[in-house]
Copies of this chain bind each other. A is one copy, B any other.
Amino acid sequence: MRTMNIAVLLFDDFETLDVYGPVEVFGRLVDIYSVAFYSLDGGQIKNKHGVSVLSAKLEDINKDLEIFLIPGGLGTRKEVENKLLIDKIKEIATFSKFVLTVCTGSALLARTGLLDNKTATSNKRAFNWVISNGINVNWNKSARWTIDDKYYTSSGVSAGIDMALGFISNRHGIEFARKIAFEIEYNWTEDKDNDTFKAE
């Protein structure tokens, strides 16, 4: 079986754990998944946590992409207005086999229109702002993560780990996912519909 490629979108002021939570989960399955980092223009991408990552250009992503991972973070407030980036996200999300968003990453995906009439969630602390970026999306305020067609969207930050484990569970079985949660000693919220941090 060939390794399945995961392209992680980066932009300045991405949220650290939105990226590295799922990267931990998929990354340790080194025989199955291969993780790489991309940004609109390539080069070093930084955030306010002191993290800097060297990225390739989004245009270099191959069309046989398995998973496109879109993190959130403060940078999304600016990037939702970046038409070049949103257009590129739409193009890649369209050919990618699966699209996974973490936290306010769903606001970026919502801006493409691809989430219209689909169920999605986001960070419960930024929910009203996220909704404003996709008024035709069926926003779920109580899910830890959602699945609709090929789109997985998770709640805030840590919930990206739960969603990644949920993705693994759907593809490789729940016992396999539980084994990973056990190895990384993570208290996985197995029920995607039951978020401790649900919005009012």
Contacts and interface: CB of A to CB of B under 8 A. Distances in A.
Contacts of A20: 16-17, 19-21, 24, 51
Interface string A20-49: 110110111010001111000000000111
A120 to B, nearest CB: 16
Contact of A157 (B24, B48, B195): B24
A159 interface: yes
A176 interface: no
Interface in A115-158: 123-125, 155-158
Contacts of A182: 125, 197
What number of copies of this chain does the assembly contain?
2
Interface stretch (A78-86, A89-97, A105-113, A183-191): A183-191
Contacts of A123: 185
A15 interface: yes
B189 A187 contact: yes
B51 A54 contact: no
A170 interface: no
A129 to B, nearest CB: 15
A84 B37 CA distance: 32
B30 A23 contact: no
Nearest to A54: B52
Contact of A23 (B16, B35, B37, B53): B16
Given A16-B24, A34-B50, 9 more contacts: A16-B23, A17-B184, A24-B157, A27-B47, A27-B50, A125-B182, A158-B185, A159-B185, A187-B187
